[in-house]
Structure 1
Amino acid sequence: MKKKKIGTTELEVAPLNFGGNVFGWTLDEKQSFDILDAFTAAGYNFIDTADTYSWWVNGKGGQSEEIIGNWLKARNNRHEIVLATKVGSETKEHGFDISKKHILKSVDESLQRLKTDHIDLYYTHFDDEKTPVEETLEAYDQIIKAGKVRYIAASNVAPQRLIASFEAAEQYGLPKYQALQPHYNLVERTKFETQYAALAEQYGLSVFTYWSLASGFLTGKYRSEDDFGKSPRGAGAQQYLNEKGRAVLAALDRVAAKHMSNPATVSLAWLLAQPLVTAPIVSATNKQQLAALFEAPLLTLDAEDLSLLDRASK
Structure 2
Amino acid sequence: MLGTTGIEVSGLCLGANTFGWTSDRDTSFEVLDAYLAGGGNFIDTADSYSAWVEGNSGGESETILGEWLADRSNRDDVVIATKVSQHPEFKGLSGRNVAAAADASLRRLRVEQIDLYYAHFDDEQTPLEETVAAFEELVQAGRIRAVGLSNYSPARIREWFEIARRTGASLPVALQPHYNLVHRRDFEAGTSELAREEGLAVMPYFALASGFLAGKYRRREDLDGAARAGMAGKYVSESGARVLETLEEIADRLEVEMPTVALAWLRTRPQILAPIASARTTAQLPALLAGAQLDLTAQDADALTAVSHDMEN
* TM-score (normalizing by structure 1): 0.95
Residues 47 and 87, structure 2, Cα contact 8 Å, conserved in 1 = no
Quick check: 1:223 aligned with 2:218?
yes
Counterparts of residues 88-127 of structure 1 (less than 5 Å): 88-89=85-86, 91=88, 95=91, 97-127=92-122
- SS across alignment from 2:145: strand
Q: C-alpha deviations, 1:260-283, integer Å up to 9, x for none?
A: 122111100101111310000010
Residue 42 of structure 2: which of 39, 46, 58 is its match?
46
- SS across alignment from 1:184: coil
Residue 7 of structure 1: which of 3, 24, 29 is its match?
3
Cα deviation for residue 235 of structure 1 reads 2.8
Counterparts of residues 47-86 of structure 1 (less than 5 Å): 47-57=43-53, 58=55, 60-86=57-83
Counterparts of residues 124-203 of structure 1 (less than 5 Å): 124-203=119-198
Residues 54 and 61, structure 1, Cα contact 8 Å, conserved in 2 = yes
Cα deviation for residue 285 of structure 1 reads 1.4
Following the alignment from structure 1 to structure 2, what is the Cα–Cα distance between the partners of residues 311 and 204? Answer: 26
Query: Relative to 1, partners in 2 of residues 1:94 and 1:78: Cα closer, same or farther, differing over 3 Å?
Result: closer
- SS across alignment from 1:157: coil
Following the alignment from structure 2 to structure 1, what is the Cα–Cα distance between the partners of residues 42 and 268? Answer: 19
- SS across alignment from 1:212: coil
Structure 2 residues without counterparts, runs of 5 or longer: none
Q: CA RMSD in A?
A: 1.3
Instruction: Look up the match of 2:275.
Output: 280
- SS across alignment from 1:147: coil
Q: Which amino acid aligns with 2:298?
A: A
Q: C-alpha deviations, 1:212-270, integer Å up to 9, x for none?
A: 00000000011111111363123321000012211111111111121112211110010
Please identify, of 205-214 and 271-280, the stretch whose mean Cα deviation from structure 2 is larger: 271-280
Residues 15 and 278, structure 2, Cα contact 8 Å, conserved in 1 = yes
Q: C-alpha deviations, 1:73-131, integer Å up to 9, x for none?
A: 0000111111010001264x565x01101101100000000001110000000011121
Following the alignment from structure 1 to structure 2, what is the Cα–Cα distance between the partners of residues 82 and 94? Answer: 23
Question: Across the two proteins, how many residue pairs are aligned to each other?
Answer: 308
Residues 175 and 203, structure 2, Cα contact 8 Å, conserved in 1 = yes
Following the alignment from structure 2 to structure 1, what is the Cα–Cα distance between the partners of residues 73 and 90? Answer: 34
Query: Relative to 1, partners in 2 of residues 1:90 and 1:118: Cα closer, same or farther, differing over 3 Å?
Result: closer
Residues 192 and 270, structure 2, Cα contact 8 Å, conserved in 1 = no
Following the alignment from structure 1 to structure 2, what is the Cα–Cα distance between the partners of residues 105 and 33? Answer: 27
Residue 26 of structure 1: which of 22, 34, 46 is its match?
22
Following the alignment from structure 1 to structure 2, what is the Cα–Cα distance between the partners of residues 307 and 289? Answer: 26
Please identify, of 31-40 and 56-65, the stretch whose mean Cα deviation from structure 2 is larger: 56-65
Following the alignment from structure 2 to structure 1, what is the Cα–Cα distance between the partners of residues 90 and 144? Answer: 23
Residues 90 and 101, structure 2, Cα contact 8 Å, conserved in 1 = no
- Runs (4 or more) in structure 1 with deviation over 6 Å come to none
Quick check: 1:16 aligned with 2:12?
yes
Q: Which amino acid aligns with 1:73?
A: A
Following the alignment from structure 1 to structure 2, what is the Cα–Cα distance between the partners of residues 189 and 158? Answer: 14
Q: C-alpha deviations, 1:180-211, integer Å up to 9, x for none?
A: 00000000011101120011001100000000
Structure 1 residues without counterparts, runs of 5 or longer: none
Following the alignment from structure 2 to structure 1, what is the Cα–Cα distance between the partners of residues 13 and 295? Answer: 19
Cα deviation for residue 60 of structure 1 reads 3.2
Cα deviation for residue 159 of structure 1 reads 1.3
* TM-score (normalizing by structure 2): 0.96
Residues 216 and 234, structure 1, Cα contact 8 Å, conserved in 2 = no
Q: Which amino acid aligns with 2:196?
A: E
Residues 34 and 282, structure 2, Cα contact 8 Å, conserved in 1 = yes
Following the alignment from structure 1 to structure 2, what is the Cα–Cα distance between the partners of residues 289 and 272? Answer: 19
